[in-house]
Amino acid sequence: MWKFLVPMGVFLALIVLFALGLNPNRDIRALPSPLLGKPAPAFQLSDVLDPARNVSNASFQGQIYVFNAWGTWCVPCREEQETLLAIAKQGVVPIIGLNFNDDRTRAQRWLRELGNPYTAVAFDPDERVAIDWGVYGAPETFLVDQHGRVIYKYISPLTLEVWQTEFLPRIQAARRSGGA
């Protein structure tokens, strides 16, 4: 009996291991964010479009918002821009942009040419705020609830499908749980 069960058990364990490890839908570069469930790191930076204006997440306190890190050097961000514009049009929650490791003129030109889905875009040339948020690539998108906690992080370009299946339900759940 054992002669049969033990190899069979080992075989099944290997199948499970391979199914999890070799799943083609799993992005092996996407890392879980240690920020999840924790307060969003505070920041205060100048606005990409108007250097005299400040952008800070303190002014979005009590609101659910999306925080999107991007740069003009990031090719997939260009593809994502269309989705962001469509999401902005729905007007569900404000989108705050974080332009990092970039050049202000280039970022301004990008927003002029491709359209601006952001309520405000913070300018982070030396990547300090991006590091505080644990951003290691672009685009990366965070969802922050009305209590200022990071509730979700998505790595790689947003699509409307991801928005509908991952973001909207979480936004609705956060709204139902009380607050704004």
Nearest residue (CB) to other proteins, 33 versus 108? 33
Tell whether residue 33 is a contact of other proteins (CB under 8 A).
yes
Q: What are phi and psi of 102, to 5 degrees?
A: -135, 180
Distance separating alpha carbons of residues 104 and 110, to the nearest angstrom: 10
Count of residues interacting with other proteins (CB under 8 A): 16
3-state secondary structure of 4: helix
Tell whether residue 134 is a contact of other proteins (CB under 8 A).
yes
* Structural tokens at position 43: 């920041």
User: What character string, x for contact with other proteins (CB under 8 A) and - otherwise, covers 45-84?
Assistant: ----------------------------------------
Nearest residue (CB) to other proteins, 32 versus 178? 32
Q: Taking the complex as a whole, how short is the minimal distance between the CB of residue 161 and other proteins, in angstroms?
A: 26
Any residues with CB less than 8 A from the CB of 131 and at least 6 apart, and which?
none
Distance separating alpha carbons of residues 180 and 178, to the nearest angstrom: 7
Q: Taking the complex as a whole, how short is the minimal distance between the CB of residue 87 and other proteins, in angstroms?
A: 26
Tell whether residue 29 is a contact of other proteins (CB under 8 A).
yes
- Which of 127, 156, 159, 175 contacts other proteins by CB under 8 A? 127
3-state secondary structure of 123: strand
Strand order in the sheet with 140-144: 54-56, 44-47, 120-124, 95-100, 65-70, 140-144, 150-155
- Which of 7, 9, 34, 115 contacts other proteins by CB under 8 A? 34
* Ordered DSSP codes for 10-45: HHHHHHHHHHHHS-TTS-TT----TTTTSBPPP-EE
Please choose, out of 24-32, 56-64, 145-153, 161-169, the segment that lies near other proteins by the rule CB under 8 A: 24-32
Any residues with CB less than 8 A from the CB of 5 and at least 6 apart, and which?
none
Tell whether residue 132 is a contact of other proteins (CB under 8 A).
yes
User: What character string, x for contact with other proteins (CB under 8 A) and - otherwise, covers 85-104?
Assistant: ----------------x---
* Structural tokens at position 63: 């609101």
Residues at the site binding other proteins, with contacts judged by CB under 8 A: 29, 31-35, 101, 126-128, 131-134, 136-137
